[in-house]
Structure 1
Amino acid sequence: MNGITHGGIGLATIAVLLFIMFTAISFGAKDLTLGTVWSAVFQYDPTLTSHQIIHELRLPRVIGAAVIGAGFAVAGALMQGITRNPLADSGILGVNAGAAMMVALSFAFFPNLPYSALMFVSFIGAVASTAFIFLLGASTPGGLTPLRLTLAGAVVAAMLHSLSSGIAIYYDLNQDLAFWYAGGVSGVKWPQLKLLVPVIALAILGAMMISRSVSLIALGEDVSVSLGVQTKRTRLIGIALAVILAGVGVSAAGSIGFVGLVIPHIVRKIVGVDYRFIIPLSGLLGAILLVLADLGARMVHPPKELAISLMVAMVGVPFFLYLARKERRAL
C-alpha cells in the first residue's frame, strides 16, 4: 500500500469514528436525533434540556471513551513493537494492575484526593509496576524475552490484584473500587477531559515521532542496530509513553484490558508492519472500539449499564486465546 492509500484509510476511519460518536451521543435514557446532537454541539443553547443532556453528560462521556480508547490502543502498539511480543498489552503486562493498586491505596488513606492527584498516583503505580516487571523478566538467565516478559507481567498483575483486593476488604472499599475494576467512562466530565486530552494527545504525538525507530526494532535487534537506531533510548521512550497512556487511561476509566492487545493486530492486517501507520490508525480504531463498547454497555439492558471491560473482553478474550495458541505453535 502506498501513502495515498494509507491516507485514504485514515480519512475513512476518522469519518467512521465521528459518525459513531454522534450516534453514541444520540442514544441513552432519552433517545435524541442526530440533528439535535448536531445543534447541541455546534449551536449550544443552555435553555434547552436536550442540549444540556448532550453537553453536560453525553458529549464528555463519548469524547472520554474515544480519547481513552486511543490511548490504550497506542500503548499496546508501542509495547508490541518495542518488545517484539504480540501478546504485549498494558493489562496483560501488569501496568493496569499497578495503576489500580495505587488507586486502592489512595481510596484507603487519602479518600478526598482530587482527580488530578489521583491521576498522578495512578501513573506512579503504572511506572512502578512496569519497572518491576522488566527487572523481574531481565533477572532470569538468558535475559528478557517476549515469553518471560509475559509471564512476569502475569505474575506481578496477579500479585497486585490480590493486594488491591486485600486493601479493599480491610478498609471496606469494595463499592468504591467496583468502578475501577469494572471500568467505565460515566464519570468523565469536562474537568477530567481538560487533563486527559492534552496528556494523551501529546503522548500519542510522541509515539508517532519515534514510530520509524519502533518499526526497525520490531524487525529485530541486529537490523535496528545496523541501521543506526539507538535501541535502548527508543525502548525507554516508548515504554515511558506507553505507561503514560495506560496509566492516565486507567486513572480515568478503570482497568480496561484487551484494547491494546486486539487493535494493533487488526491494524497490522490493514496497513502492514510500518509503525508510522500502525500508531495513528491504532489510535483511531481504539477510539471506535471503546465508544462502541460504552454504547453497548448502555444499550444492552437499559437503564442499567454493564461494565465496559465486559464488552471489550467479549472480543478480547477469544482473540487473546487465539494469539496464545498461535504463539505456542511458533515455539
Structure 2
Amino acid sequence: MRARTVVPVALLSVSPLLIVLTVLISILYGAVNIDARTVWEAVFHFDPGNVNHQIIVSSRLPRALGALLIGAFLAVSGALMQGMTRNYLASPSIMGVSDGSAFVITLCMILSPGASSLEMMMFSFIGSALGVVLVFGMASLLPGGMSPVRMAILGTIIGTFLSSVSAAMATYFQTSLNVSFWYNARLHQMNPDLIKLAVPFAVIGIAISLYISRSVTILSLGDEVSAGLGQRTVLVKAAALGAVVIMTGASVAMAGKIGFIGLIIPHITRFLIGVDYKWIVPCAAVLGGVFLALSDVLSRFINFPFETPVGVVTALVGVPFFLYLARTRGGRKHA
C-alpha cells in the first residue's frame, strides 16, 4: 500500500469504532449523567416507564445521530466548495449558503406556520440554492470577485443582510422566538422525524460528492489545467453546488445554522491525508460528524446545567482559524 493511502485507510477503518464511542459519550454526559448499563438497556430492552430510557431514546440518541449527520454534511460541503473554487476561506456558513436556508425557513414559518417537516426541508433547499446564486452570481460580476478574501467578504455581507431581514420579519410578524432556533442552533431540540427525513438526502448528497471526488481533485488544480485534462468543469461545479445545496439545506432544516464546521474540518482533513478528494470526502464526513458531536458534549458544560448553543463552541475554534487563514492564505488560491 502506498504511503499516502495509509492514513485515510486507517482513519476510515477505525471510523465505526470512533463513531460508536462518540455516540456513547454524547448519550452518557449531560445535565443528568447516565451509566453505560442504562444505555444498553434503553437500546435493547426499552422500558417506556423508565425516565432515563425516555431521555436516551427521545433526546440524547437523536441528538448524537443528528450531530454526526450535520457535521458530516457541513464538512463535506466545505470541502467541495474549497476544492472547486480553490478558495481556502470557502464554507457554507461564510459564503451565505446557511443564511440563505435560514432566511427561506423564516419566510416559511411566517407564510406557512403549519408546514410539515418535508415542506420545511424543501424550503431549506430552496434557501441554500438562493445563497449559492446570490454569492457566486455577484462574485462573478464583480472585478476580482472570485478571489478568496473578496468572496469571503461578499458571502459575509450577503449572509448578514439575509439574517438581518429575517430578524426584522420575525419581529414584525412576532415569530422571533421560533426563528431564533434557526440562528442559534440547539441540538437538544433535535426532531427525530427530521433525522429520518434527512437520511435519504444524506445518501444522495454524499453519493454525489463521492462520485465527483476525483473530478474535484483535478478541478482544484485550476480551470485551465482541468480543461486541458478533458474535465467538464461546468458540469462538475454544478454537481458540486447541487450536493452543497442538498447537504447544507438538510443540516439547517435539522438544527439551524451552525458555523465554521465547513471551514475547519476540510483543512484538518487535507493536513492529515493530502489533497486527493477521493479520500478527503469520506474522511471529512467522519471528522466533521465526530467534531460536531463532541463540540455538542462540551457545550453542555460551558454554563452547566443550562444548554449553550453549540455554535459558541465551534466559533471559539473557528474564528481564530478563519483569521489565521485570512492572514496567511487569504490572498491566494490553494494548490
Give the TM-score range, shorter chain. Answer: over 0.9
Partner of 2:59: 57
- Equivalents in 2 of 1:328, 1:189: separation in Å? 38
Cα deviations by residue, 1:189-233 (Å, 9 ceiling, x for unpaired)? 331111112212321121011100000111122221222211110
Given the alignment, which residue of 250, 253, 264 partners 2:252? 250
The residue type equivalent to 1:246 in the other structure is T
Cα deviations by residue, 1:284-320 (Å, 9 ceiling, x for unpaired)? 1111111112112222223310011111101111100
The residue type equivalent to 2:262 in the other structure is G
Partner of 1:109: 111
- Equivalents in 2 of 1:249, 1:172: separation in Å? 25
The residue type equivalent to 1:121 in the other structure is F
TM-score of the aligned structures, taking structure 2 as reference length: 0.93
- Equivalents in 1 of 2:69, 2:182: separation in Å? 17
Cα deviations by residue, 1:13-40 (Å, 9 ceiling, x for unpaired)? 4322221210110112321112322332
What does residue range 27-42 of structure 1 map to in structure 2 within 5 Å?
27-42=29-44
Partner of 2:135: 133
Partner of 1:98: 100
Partner of 1:226: 228
Give ranges in structure 1 of 5+ residues lacking alignment: none
Q: 1:260 Cα shift?
A: 0.2
C-alpha contact (below 8 Å) 1:87/1:320 kept by paired residues: yes
Partner of 1:167: 169
- Equivalents in 1 of 2:104, 2:321: separation in Å? 29
The residue type equivalent to 2:34 in the other structure is L
C-alpha contact (below 8 Å) 1:14/1:284 kept by paired residues: no
Cα deviations by residue, 1:172-201 (Å, 9 ceiling, x for unpaired)? 222112211111222223311111122123
- Equivalents in 2 of 1:147, 1:91: separation in Å? 15
The residue type equivalent to 2:80 in the other structure is L
Give ranges in structure 2 of 5+ residues lacking alignment: none
Pair 25,100 (structure 1): closer, same or farther in 2 beyond 3 Å: same
Which SS does the other structure have where 1:292 is aligned?
Answer: helix
Q: 1:52 Cα shift?
A: 2.5
- Equivalents in 2 of 1:6, 1:162: separation in Å? 41
Partner of 1:324: 326
Partner of 2:126: 124
Which SS does the other structure have where 1:303 is aligned?
Answer: coil
Aligned length: 331
Partner of 1:295: 297
C-alpha contact (below 8 Å) 2:82/2:90 kept by paired residues: yes
C-alpha contact (below 8 Å) 1:23/1:34 kept by paired residues: no
Say whether 1:74 aligns with 2:76. Answer: yes
Partner of 1:274: 276
Q: 1:328 Cα shift?
A: 4.5
Given the alignment, which residue of 312, 315, 318 partners 2:314? 312
TM-score of the aligned structures, taking structure 1 as reference length: 0.94
The residue type equivalent to 2:116 in the other structure is P
Which SS does the other structure have where 2:34 is aligned?
Answer: coil
Cα deviations by residue, 1:118-169 (Å, 9 ceiling, x for unpaired)? 1111111110121121111111245744344323212211211221121122
- Equivalents in 2 of 1:185, 1:106: separation in Å? 21
Pair 88,143 (structure 1): closer, same or farther in 2 beyond 3 Å: closer
- Equivalents in 2 of 1:162, 1:143: separation in Å? 23
Which SS does the other structure have where 1:112 is aligned?
Answer: coil
- Equivalents in 2 of 1:107, 1:329: separation in Å? 40
Cα deviations by residue, 1:59-82 (Å, 9 ceiling, x for unpaired)? 111101111111011100000001
The residue type equivalent to 2:120 in the other structure is L
Q: Which moved more, 1:232-241 or 1:157-166?
A: 157-166
Which SS does the other structure have where 1:118 is aligned?
Answer: helix
Which SS does the other structure have where 1:299 is aligned?
Answer: coil
What does residue range 198-213 of structure 1 map to in structure 2 within 5 Å?
198-213=200-215
CA RMSD, Structure 1 to Structure 2 (Å): 1.8
The residue type equivalent to 2:172 in the other structure is Y
The residue type equivalent to 1:175 in the other structure is L
Given the alignment, which residue of 142, 145, 148 partners 1:146? 148
Runs of 4+ in structure 1 over 6 Å off: none
C-alpha contact (below 8 Å) 1:181/1:254 kept by paired residues: yes
Partner of 2:267: 265
Q: 1:106 Cα shift?
A: 1.7
Q: Which moved more, 1:155-164 or 1:282-291?
A: 155-164
The residue type equivalent to 1:168 in the other structure is A
